[in-house]
Structure 1
Amino acid sequence: MSGYREHLLVIALFVVLVFLFAYPFSLHLHEAVISSHVDNLLNVWIMSWDAHAVVTDPTALFQANMNYPSPDSLAYSEHLFILAMFAAPISWVTGNPVLAYNLVALLGFALCGYAMYLLARYLTGSRLAAFAAGVFFAFVPYHFSTIVHVHVSLYLFQPLIILMLFRYFDVGERRYLLGLGAAFLAQALLGWYQLAFSSIPIGLFLLWKTLSPRWREHLGALLRVVGVLALCMLVILPFALPYFRLHKNIPEKEGEPAINVIAHATARDYVRVLPQNWLYGKLGFLPTGNPGEGNALFPGFLVFPLLVLALFSALKGARTRGKGSAEASRSHEELDFPANHGTSDPPAWSGGAEESGGLGTPMANGMEGRGAPGPETGGNGPSAPASPPRAFHDPCSGHGEPGVAGFDVARGLRNEVTSSGESVSSHQGLDTGYHDGTGERTSHHIHEGGPFNEGHVKLLTSASRRAYFVYFAALGLTCFVLSLGPEPHGIPNPLYKALHKLPIYGFVRFPTRYHIMVILSLSVMVAYGCSHLQDILERKRGRSWANATVAAVTALVLLEFLVVSLPYSAVAVGDAVPRVYRDLADVEGAVVAEVPMPAVGNSVVFEDPLTINYGTLDNTFLSALREQDATYFSIYNWKKLLNGMSGYYPLFYRRALVETLSFPSSRSLHFLRGAGVNHLVVQWERYPPEMQSEVREKLDKSPGVTLVEDYPEGQSLYRLEPLETAPATDLDIQLAAPGLAGPGQHLSSSLVLSNPSSRPFLNLDEKRQPVEASWRDGKGEVVRRESSYFYCPFFIAGEEGALAPFELTAPVAAGEYTLELTVKEGALEGRSWETRVMVDDFLDVESESDIRGALEAAWGALSSSKPEESGPGGAPSSPAEEASDSGEATSLPASITNPAGGAFSRGPAVDETPLEGISAADLSSGECFSLTVVVHNGGAALWEREREGVVGTVAVTARWTREGDAAWEMVQQGSLPCDLAPDQEAIFPIPLQAPVEEGEYSLTLRLNCLGITYIGEPLTLSIKVTRQANTTHVIRADSNTQPL
């Protein structure tokens, strides 16, 4: 069979098998995705956006339409660029992005098997053994377990990277070096996981070469490989820069590589299969894991005897016999080069000096002229004179080159050679490889000249077979250890921790995915085992028996891995897509939000930047499903979209989630309109029937909201008018810094922002806002300059306040200092503040038993720059009409003064009377609001805003309880504005969120030294939460509730 025909046959076989495994889903590729919409539709959107950006504005590739207004939104997940380029022509021709995605995914599965076939064919010289390895690689349960994560499951270029690496070192031709670069680049541009995984086999191979005794001979090849990989990294760099920008701006607490605690391999995972497994799923004695969970690591039972055979093959080495020849009875060592001559034996395995320390050696002149058989010699033994260097002959290439009697990736398949020198074309079908005169299959090198004509073959040495076996065993063992995660069963994993200090491995949040390289290594072992089984059976029973047995083994592997009826979910495409999304394509400049947005279920702290992840959402799977549906449907209009859920939640999106929980309260509508959202898609089916009329009525009455159209599919489209927002220059901002700090120690500070306007303040910039701090001593000399940063709050409603915390480090010398802080960039650029800080030793809460203090309510603006705006009793005057319909309880703006001496003082608007039984008006369910409080440190210990760990941090705990339901409780927390020194007082806002269920609630505020003790007396407020509060009320210092 000619080379290209064999390629087509092998690919066709794998394609057929993949489509059979995927049946009946394979009949619905145009209208469904495997498993569920989650992740699949995200991948469809990513690949579609890539194709869209390439033809519209390639420079804006990462400025995708999801998660408006956050930048680089494509970088929140894998960019899948190379897959998108494969899928784009299909999508452009068919107009069906789902079909394009599914075809690429399933064909990628088939090509995984084909790529492993090429590698195993090169290593063993056996087609059937290579096919068995490809079957294992493509259909192992883990592959289907990751099928919805195409950046993980499509590892088709990994075997090609290793193959090209081997070929280049074995042959030394430039085309293999270029092939290595192309395969590496393609795999890296598929996803960052694959780049990380690719580096392990490459690094292991290059390390082995570098440490070999003959490293100087490899030095040129090593440098060229490193050079090509460096050029590839330059191509990859533009794709990496958005991820670097993202990493630079995320909160430091989230900046460390995130490890999914349930995503490391466990012992039970190694016996886990898919529930759709035809054999073991029926038997029911193995645990199961669903497609997409990525935890079905079972390699099958047949792999174990094949591993034993592979080990025997490596220990025993290859043998040859010539029919009727005296040389046929010689040992391998007698037929090979003498050991004291040293041999470089490409491809695949090498002998001689390289055997003890390295892998295959590139040969510039074939046999290097040492003890090589040639036309002048009748054999090759110690007494044979050295012949001139000759190249191995590749019958398919038509010219001499170092090569392998087996598969040449670029040229096709070599012919088979009998011991009589007859060239036999492999037209018999998918045959087993090369055979000597007895019919035994061997992997050998064909030498041009005498040995070629006389039937002599250069065999693989036993030592070189061991070397390559050790390489793949080391690769598999290394990745197996990495897949266990940083601390398997509480035991530190130093290999994992050392490797993950390198930047690229920070992308690997799921350690289990290192199992990909374990599968690759096991696949090669399967090829070795099947190859050795062929050798044994050919000697004992003949070629037919050998072929049939290996084919039967392959069939049994398929039976072990067979899955039937993989679950799939229908997806709307084309005209079936709800018309509202298609109509938006004609709306110029549309910025869309789809409501209701996911509900935040158990957040505790509501200070920006919020901490929101899968664990804080009320229903993680349902939230991801709805958000990714909205993202997918945006393919049909490509309008900017507030929604979107990927591997990272941008900071503005987190604020949007908590602010829209009370939708359609006036506060939530102000937030959306102020953020630039001008169209709403309301999904009515996501509201309970009894709420739909209430929501519609509220939207109809809300100013700036207009119904565009009701759609029969269950959506409504509303248009939102722009809302004038307060500029940053209108904010009253004070610096909160501790009156006392330890020499050279970190200290927590913040800017306390108050919005005295009736208009909300919106900040759309997620970047860190850099500040410069200068410390001046008593002589006015600057003794320390440092840089820090804060995040500007994203939303401050009218008459409310917020904190923007940051960290500083005190000077090392004790004394009194003046701290000057200047904002260098961002919304507050150019603004500066000063305060005084004493630097000296202090007592902490863990060493001081005298922890005393007080918490008081302050419903007025504190040291406001506009005291004339305050109403009676310290309450602010009524906000403008647009804010008065907000439906939320509006707390009063808060600010902080820091007079000489470094202690904070209360402004004139503070009610001095401790309050009991404070009552408040209605809040909308799930509505955010803030309360201004006064905190006084009356003890001898410094209160720290943040500590390493939790114990000892002082905060304001807010505990919600519900009347008539003693078991119900919800706890939230407000942070101090800064570390608080003894006898220091601070006035600041704490952001909270009302419960989502209607009812009468008590809200109890109390100072809490976390993990140690409560401080002072509690404050209790009575709050009524309704689904839609119609008036805004001020929380007051009496039992009355007064509407504004």
Structure 2
Amino acid sequence: MTDVSRFAFHVSRAKGHVFALALFTLLALAMTYPQAYVMSSALRASGKAAHEDALLNTWILAWDVHALFHHPARLFDANIYHPRQNTLAYSHHLLGVLPIAGPVILLTGNPVLAHNVAVMLSFVLAGWGSYLLVSHLVAVWDDGVRNAECGVRNGPIQNPKSKIQNHGPSLISHPSSLWWVAVLAGVLYAFCPFRLSHYQHVQFLVGTQWLPFALLFLEKWLKDRRWRDFALAILFSFLMAMCSLYLALLGGFFVSFFFLVRLLIAPRPPRSEIWHLKSEIVSLLAWLAFCLLVAAFLVPFHLPYLRFQRELGFAREPRDIVEGSADLRDYIAVSETNKLYGAILPHPSSSECELFPGLVAVACAAFAVWRLRRSRLVVVYGLCALAALALSMGPTLKLWGHETLPGPYRLLGLFLPGYSGVRIPARFGIFFQLMLSVLAGLGLAEWMRGRSKTELQSWPTLQFHWMSRLARGCLVAVSAVTLAVLEYLAVPVPLAHVPVGKDMPEAYRWLARQPGDLALVEIPYGVTRLDAFYMYASTAHWKRLVNGASGYDPPERAALRLLMYEFPSKDSLEALRSLGVDYVVFHPDLAGREPGRLPDGLEVAETFGQDVVVKVMRGGAGVQPPSSSAWASPAGSTASASHAPERAHLALDGNLQTCWSTGVSQSAGMWFCLDLGAPRTLAGLRFSLGIRAGDFPKEYRLEGSLDGQRWQTLAEGRPWLQVLQSCFVTPMNPSFEIPFPVTQVRYLRITQTAKRFDYCWSIAEVGLLER
């Protein structure tokens, strides 16, 4: 190829890349309709209101920019869940989204617009990145890798048994054919149902947009061994991991796994054995350096999450991880909004499991595996696809609702830190989708290469044999792209309006004008969709907020919800004072009641329409430490219960990690009984909750007996305020105490007297106050 022709080829290819970027932009606008018309004032909806995850992520983006410009050292001390610190670590920090969203917030002051720009751009860049990856693979593959993979050094392949044949002059080297092959891969990845179902998760969309770029530059490094490409692969892997803790764990593992498999199964250049050995050593060292460098860059940004785990001890229940895993059935499931299959195929159990890859993707990928099964490139992407599929099914493989064999994900949880806390292993499905998209591109390329004029003329139903071979190939590719778009179409995207700027309710603008670092709580409290809006609304004033709706709830949430439900009661006032709250923003229309007469210590500061801002007068002694009494273990005692009696002994085993639990929501009449074995003189009981801070009895009656027949009421009450204060003193083991007059008893029975409470009732340990 002469310099002129080489230059013309590169110009043509560059034009193709620009046209592809424009096409993916148009497709993003169409597939997210009508988002483009309301970019600055609407977010993904859940019902009639904005989705709480979209509100959460919009708040996080705004907080990141606010904190980095005002107090960067306190980035993780976000303004929610007051008075707790390190509260940004309750969810993803989204710092990887800031390169896109940050400038928009700085220029416009509109976090909703920034969020939507990042979402829209994620579809464009995800498609373009996949397009570039497959363009590179097909071009390199066509330029001789196919021969190298079959052991041929020079000239065409002569082995008639090989399934990978050299068909002479390359069809795929023509920019028009290559363009449509790569565009198909981009569409299959960027607009697949799994990504569309995560529309409210900007961190997932933006993070996965960088994945094809990371693989692209790894492929380029493997081809040319330019360290610039290696550095770019690290950069894009880092950006992906910085978007989400999930992607730091799942994506970090998968990219490292892909890199290792690609090194082990890469085509071997025709060089000496010594050169082979040196090359493989360099490659393995490069893989190790890649893993270590990405991890080293990520560690400083994830230390707050380790602190969060150490201080509060939050952990996922094994059952939560199983429920967040994919079922094989989910790979043929689509949401009801899918225009083509919504009324035909089953629906997923949740939006996290909408993993249908599309028939076009499966057909083209299957063709690639069939025709190119000896290709090392296809083997690599096929193995990685199977690995991602298996990992997405979590610790136990599920087939149509039936749990079967242990899955490979269990090994990650056993041997690698962090994976036991991943609630949704199903998100490994996005890596399966990318591998399948690449295979589909290779399959379409091979089909276009292998269709001779004679073969096409033998099909009586296809009357276009008069067309050029290139035109026939392009027509097939365009049809595949069109079918893929139709398979994934799910418009209109449900959107909900959110107030921005001057449209914010006046109460929030009034708070912004108040001097000082104030703390407030909004009522109703503890309703996730409302708390998410309160968080978003706090971007108008940045005062400290007791409310919050994040990836984890603080241990005091259940107790505080009950106390705020009774605002302005005496106990609620004491709770507000103990938390250092300055204002209460009461919403009668949302609470379904008026605040009523305010007691001493509360006064109306302002009224804005229906919203009432109440000032809390300082007083009280703050959070009270637990009593210093010496609590004895109920050694020699036995326990029984109305629910799950076989587990009642776990409340007496001395292990805070185990507990007795009803397993169902609380209702009146539930009881737990303690047999001390012999009469003992007591003055109180203490119930430890362990990590189940919300599982205290809503209301109780404690009774004692010497014979188990005649019962005497020792105490009645509700432990809300005690549990609330204990959550700040011993957050990993809140407790409440029930004092009563000194009494000699053998049997103690505590009964739940409230009609209904959403939480289970659990007891980690019981302590006795002896006299």
- The two structures have a TM-score, normalised by structure 1, of 0.56
CA distance in 1, matches of 2:623, 2:41: 48
Displacement of 1:84 after TM fit?
A: 2.3
CA distance in 2, matches of 1:142, 1:973: 37
Deviations 1:412-432 (A, max 9, x none): xxxxxxxxxxxxxxxxxxxxx
Q: Give 1:47's aligned amino acid.
A: L
Displacement of 1:979 after TM fit?
A: 6.8
CA distance in 1, matches of 2:352, 2:543: 33
Alignment of 1:783-822 (within 5 A): none
Change (3 A) 1:258 1:919: closer
Displacement of 1:58 after TM fit?
A: 1.4
Change (3 A) 1:28 1:499: same
Aligned partner of 2:522 in structure 1 is: 594
Aligned partner of 1:569 in structure 2 is: 496
Any conservation in 2 of the 1:67–1:73 contact (CA below 8 Å)?
A: yes
Change (3 A) 1:917 1:27: same
Partner of 2:338, secondary structure, is coil
- Whether 2:489 is the aligned partner of 1:696: answer no
Any conservation in 1 of the 2:578–2:623 contact (CA below 8 Å)?
A: no
Equivalent residue for 1:477, pick from 380, 386, 395: 386
Deviations 1:34-89 (A, max 9, x none): 22321000000011111111111211111111111111111111111021231111
Aligned partner of 2:233 in structure 1 is: 180
Displacement of 1:715 after TM fit?
A: 1.1
Deviations 1:514-550 (A, max 9, x none): 1011101110111011101211236555111111111
- Whether 2:618 is the aligned partner of 1:722: answer yes
Alignment of 1:297-696 (within 5 A): 297-315=355-373, 463=374, 466-487=375-396, 488=398, 489-501=402-414, 502-537=416-451, 540=454, 542-587=469-514, 588-598=516-526, 623-688=527-592, 691-692=593-594, 695-696=595-596
Q: Give 1:76's aligned amino acid.
A: Y
Any conservation in 1 of the 2:115–2:202 contact (CA below 8 Å)?
A: no
Deviations 1:653-681 (A, max 9, x none): 44423432322211011111121001111
Greater relative contact order: 1 or 2 (C-alpha under 8 angstroms, separation 6 or more)? 2
Aligned partner of 1:286 in structure 2 is: 345
Deviations 1:850-880 (A, max 9, x none): 985679996999xxxxxxxxxxxxxxxxxxx
Change (3 A) 1:228 1:474: closer
CA distance in 1, matches of 2:560, 2:544: 15
- Whether 2:126 is the aligned partner of 1:115: answer no
Displacement of 1:99 after TM fit?
A: 0.9
Change (3 A) 1:175 1:651: same
Aligned partner of 2:307 in structure 1 is: 245
Displacement of 1:706 after TM fit?
A: 1.6
CA distance in 1, matches of 2:387, 2:404: 16
- Whether 2:294 is the aligned partner of 1:232: answer yes
Aligned partner of 2:648 in structure 1 is: none
Q: Give 1:495's aligned amino acid.
A: P
Aligned partner of 1:735 in structure 2 is: 630
Q: Give 2:381's aligned amino acid.
A: F
Displacement of 1:115 after TM fit?
A: 0.6
Larger Rg belongs to: 1
CA distance in 2, matches of 1:156, 1:304: 21
Displacement of 1:975 after TM fit?
A: 4.7
Q: Give 1:705's aligned amino acid.
A: L
Total equivalences in the alignment: 636
Equivalent residue for 2:53, pick from 9, 16, 39: 39
Displacement of 1:7 after TM fit?
A: 2.8
Identity of aligned residues (%): 26
- Whether 2:192 is the aligned partner of 1:140: answer yes
Aligned partner of 1:274 in structure 2 is: 335
Aligned partner of 2:705 in structure 1 is: none
CA distance in 2, matches of 1:534, 1:475: 25
Partner of 2:753, secondary structure, is strand
CA distance in 1, matches of 2:611, 2:410: 50
- Whether 2:215 is the aligned partner of 1:162: answer yes
Could you list the runs of 5+ residues in structure 2 that have no partner in the other structure? 1-10, 140-177, 267-272, 455-464, 638-650, 658-673, 687-697, 703-708, 725-735
Any conservation in 2 of the 1:259–1:509 contact (CA below 8 Å)?
A: yes
Displacement of 1:203 after TM fit?
A: 2.1
Partner of 2:496, secondary structure, is strand
Displacement of 1:722 after TM fit?
A: 1.4
Deviations 1:946-986 (A, max 9, x none): xxxxxxxxx84413277xxxxx8999858586578xxxx74
Q: Give 1:174's aligned amino acid.
A: W
Deviations 1:682-718 (A, max 9, x none): 0111222xx31xx232x2xx11112111102x21111
Partner of 1:592, secondary structure, is strand
Displacement of 1:627 after TM fit?
A: 0.6
Equivalent residue for 1:707, pick from 583, 587, 604: 604
CA RMSD of aligned residues (A): 4.0
CA distance in 2, matches of 1:660, 1:210: 60
CA distance in 2, matches of 1:82, 1:103: 14
Partner of 1:735, secondary structure, is coil
Any conservation in 2 of the 1:662–1:927 contact (CA below 8 Å)?
A: no
Aligned partner of 2:96 in structure 1 is: 82
- Whether 2:279 is the aligned partner of 1:217: answer yes
Any conservation in 1 of the 2:256–2:291 contact (CA below 8 Å)?
A: no
Partner of 2:353, secondary structure, is coil
Q: Give 1:297's aligned amino acid.
A: L
Deviations 1:748-782 (A, max 9, x none): xxxxxxxxxxxxxxxxxxxxxxxxxxxxxxxxxxx
CA distance in 1, matches of 2:485, 2:699: 65
Aligned partner of 2:82 in structure 1 is: 68
Any conservation in 2 of the 1:276–1:564 contact (CA below 8 Å)?
A: yes
Q: Give 1:190's aligned amino acid.
A: C
Q: Give 2:632's aligned amino acid.
A: A
Q: Give 1:738's aligned amino acid.
A: S
Any conservation in 2 of the 1:201–1:475 contact (CA below 8 Å)?
A: no
Equivalent residue for 2:72, pick from 55, 58, 81: 58
Any conservation in 1 of the 2:392–2:425 contact (CA below 8 Å)?
A: yes
Partner of 2:43, secondary structure, is strand
Aligned partner of 1:91 in structure 2 is: 105
Displacement of 1:152 after TM fit?
A: 2.3
Quick check: which one's strand share is greater? 1
Displacement of 1:15 after TM fit?
A: 1.2
Change (3 A) 1:127 1:504: farther
Could you list the runs of 5+ residues in structure 1 that have no partner in the other structure? 316-462, 599-622, 743-802, 810-848, 862-887, 893-912, 940-954, 963-967, 988-1044
Q: Give 1:136's aligned amino acid.
A: L
Q: Give 1:670's aligned amino acid.
A: E
Q: Give 1:720's aligned amino acid.
A: V
Q: Give 2:55's aligned amino acid.
A: L
Change (3 A) 1:258 1:656: farther
CA distance in 2, matches of 1:640, 1:631: 10
